[in-house]
Every structure is written in C-alpha cells, then in structure tokens.
Amino acid sequence: MERIVKKIRQEAKEKIERIKNKEELEKVRIEFLGRKRGKITELLKNITTLPLQERPFAGRLANEIKREIQQLLDKKRKEISSEEEVEERVDVTFPGRKPRIGKLHPLTQTTEKIKRIFVSMGFRVVRGPEIETEYYNFEALNMPRYHPARNEYDSFYLNKGYLLRSHTSPVQIRVMEKESPPIRIIVPGRVYRRDAIDASHFPMFHQVEGLAVDEKVTFSDLKGVLSSFAYQMFGKTTRLRFRPSFFPFTEPSLDLDIQCVICQGKGCKTCGRKGWLEILGAGMVDPEVFKKVGYEPEKYQGFAFGMGVERICMLKYGVDDIRLFFQNDLRFLNQF
C-alpha cells in the first residue's frame, strides 16, 4: 500500500510539473482526483478490501496524498491564470478600440454660428424667461387683447395669465425697460406654439431675435446688417430678396428671402416652385412699442428681426424634416 501511494505521488508530482495550460490541468486533475476513475479515488475505494487493522493507516495515507495533490494543482492553477492575465494585458496585436468623440447638436452649432456673426457686428447675447406674462408676450408688443395677430401665435396658456412664450420678442421689452439706448442685442432661446407635429412644425422650436435701438438708426442699417448675416450664413454669392411684410411690433416690416439653395431659383418642391426661401422677418420698431417702455419715439429709432434656428439649419444643410432634430438618432446627428 505504501509503495503504491509513493508511486502515485511521484507520478502526480511529475505530471503537475509539466502542466502548461488549463486544459492539461483539468486532465491531470481527472486522472488522479476524478470522482469515477481517479487514481486516488480508486485507492480510497480499495481500502475497504484491506484487513480491518490496516484500514486506518491506509486511509490516513491516502487522504494525505489526496490533499497534497489537491494543493499542487491549486498552486499550478494560480500560476497559469496569472500568466494568462499578463499575456492578455500586453497583447500588442489586439486591435485598438476607437474612442467615440461627442459633438454639438446641429441646432446648437447653428445657434452658435448665428451668435458669432451678430456678436462680430457689435450685438450682445441676452436671455429671458420661457414662462411669460401676456403683457410681455403680446400687449407690450402692440398686440392688445383680441388683436387678430394673436391668433397666429397659438400659445400654450398656463394659470393666472402666464403662458409659454410664443416668440423671443418679449425679451426685447424686458431689456428696453431696464436699459437706455444704445441697445444692440440678440436673444437666442426656445419658444412654444400649439402646432400639430409634421415635417416643418414642432410645438417647441428655437428662435434668435435681434434688436438695435439708437439715434439715427435707419432702414438701410437694417438691410445692411441682415445682408451681412445672410452672406456669412449661406455664402457670399447668395442672392437676397427683401419683401414687404407685416408684424404688429414693427413698421415698416419685411421678410428676407434667399434664392433657393436646392434648385438655385429654378423652382422645386422645397421652395414651393417659387425659387425663393424665407429665412427671417424684420422691421423698424413700431413707435407704439417705444412708448410702452418709455423711450421717446421722436428721438430714437430701432430695428428688430427674428428667425427660426431650425429653419436656418434645415436650409443650410438640406434637412427636409424638423422632427429629425429631436429624435436623438446618432446616424442623423453624426453627419454634422
């Protein structure tokens, strides 16, 4: 019995010494400690066939060798796994992972561009609240209660005469109430209207509003500032068209069109076969608005303009559906 044990121990030691990987280790473990035909397992089973007085000694011996082999295998297992880990860590042939680089949303990029252009012309950026009173949203802008123009701004009303602002123009009033001319500001921000969602409407969108007030501000100044903006935004060769329009808070008022960026004026679906695309509305500040904020209309003149950021972005990049901006689809966003 002792001789057999010694032989098995020797054999096991040699085999464990030669193990190189997990597969070999498992093979050796089964050979000696396997539950069905492991050599040690057999040995333990055979003890029952020995004479009664020899059994305790043989049992102790077999259990000792079992423990010893188990320990040797555990030691080997640790060696192997730490070797494999090191190998994994320094595998220089493994292809690298490309880090994903974040970028700004196209609407943010467009707003930033609009801001840069006007700031370079001496305008400063201000912001105002998105929850407004009817006074700032309408009345101070020359739209008293029951004024028909209010219908064009289908607003979200809250309690007690508050509403989500339907344009950024109320911020003009807030600034003029606090400051005296000269004023040159632009106001970027979110606005809200109860529009049904389709390819060109969304209940929340972004505007940039502008206001300049001083002595001797003329309609030519307005045309000059807007032309400069359009050329910087859409390119120096862009053709422009100023068209008479109406807003309750400006007089005279105009719309600015650029020649269709899709068809170059020939007429297509995007421009409704007209060859021109409206990019913003503007005008000379109505004297009634000046009276509301305590400016003397005889002394000061000013112009104001407003544009939709989504529209500018859509025209600049040829995006045909406003909903794409709000779906967070990386395949769309990564193109900008």
Q: Give, to the nearest 10 degrees, the angle between helix 106-120 and helix 309-317.
A: 100
Give whichever of 96 and 318 is closer to Zn ion, judged by the CB atom: 318
SS3 at position 204: strand
Name the one range near Zn ion by CB under 5 A: 87-95, 169-177, 185-193, 264-272: 264-272
From the CB of residue 251, how many other CB atoms can be counted at a distance below 10 Å? 15
**Nearest distance from C-beta of residue 329 to Zn ion, angstroms:** 26
Measured CA to CA, the distance from residue 316 to residue 200 in angstroms comes to 15
Lookup: tokens for 68? 């010893």
**Nearest distance from C-beta of residue 263 to Zn ion, angstroms:** 3
Residue 262 binds to Zn ion (criterion: CB under 5 A): yes
Residue 58 binds to Zn ion (criterion: CB under 5 A): no
Name the one range near Zn ion by CB under 5 A: 52-60, 87-95, 112-120, 265-273: 265-273
Q: In Å, what is the CA distance from 261 to each residue of 237, 257, 300?
A: 11, 11, 37
**Nearest distance from C-beta of residue 240 to Zn ion, angstroms:** 15
Q: Determine which residue in the list 143, 212, 256, 271 makes contact with Zn ion, applying CB under 5 A.
A: 271
The DSSP 8-state label assigned to residue 157 in this structure reads: B
**Residue 275: left (phi > 0), alpha (psi -120 to 50), or beta?**
left
**Nearest distance from C-beta of residue 261 to Zn ion, angstroms:** 8
**Helices marked H in the chain — which ranges?**
2-18, 22-33, 39-46, 55-89, 106-120, 134-137, 170-178, 219-234, 287-293, 309-317, 330-333
Name the one range near Zn ion by CB under 5 A: 77-85, 111-119, 162-170, 260-268: 260-268
Lookup: tokens for 189? 């921000």
**Nearest distance from C-beta of residue 257 to Zn ion, angstroms:** 11
276 contacts 262 by C-beta, under 8 angstroms: no
Size of the site for Zn ion (CB under 5 A): 6
Q: Determine which residue in the list 16, 69, 260, 309 makes contact with Zn ion, applying CB under 5 A.
A: 260
Give whichever of 238 and 270 is closer to Zn ion, judged by the CB atom: 270
Name the one range near Zn ion by CB under 5 A: 61-69, 175-183, 229-237, 257-265: 257-265
Residue 121 binds to Zn ion (criterion: CB under 5 A): no
Name the one range near Zn ion by CB under 5 A: 88-96, 209-217, 271-279, 284-292: 271-279
Q: Which amino acid is at 210?
A: G
Give whichever of 315 and 322 is closer to Zn ion, judged by the CB atom: 315
Give whichever of 279 and 285 is closer to Zn ion, judged by the CB atom: 279
The torsion angles phi and psi of 216, rounded to 5 degrees, stand at: 60, 35
Measured CA to CA, the distance from residue 85 to residue 241 in angstroms comes to 70
Residue 238 binds to Zn ion (criterion: CB under 5 A): no
Measured CA to CA, the distance from residue 7 to residue 10 in angstroms comes to 5
Q: Give, to the nearest 10 degrees, the angle between helix 55-89 and helix 22-33.
A: 170
Q: Which residue is nearest to Zn ion (CB)?
A: 260
Residue 263 binds to Zn ion (criterion: CB under 5 A): yes
Name the one range near Zn ion by CB under 5 A: 75-83, 224-232, 261-269, 314-322: 261-269
Q: Determine which residue in the list 4, 121, 268, 324 makes contact with Zn ion, applying CB under 5 A.
A: 268
**Nearest distance from C-beta of residue 274 to Zn ion, angstroms:** 7
- List interacting residues with Zn ion (CB under 5 A): 260, 262-263, 268, 270-271
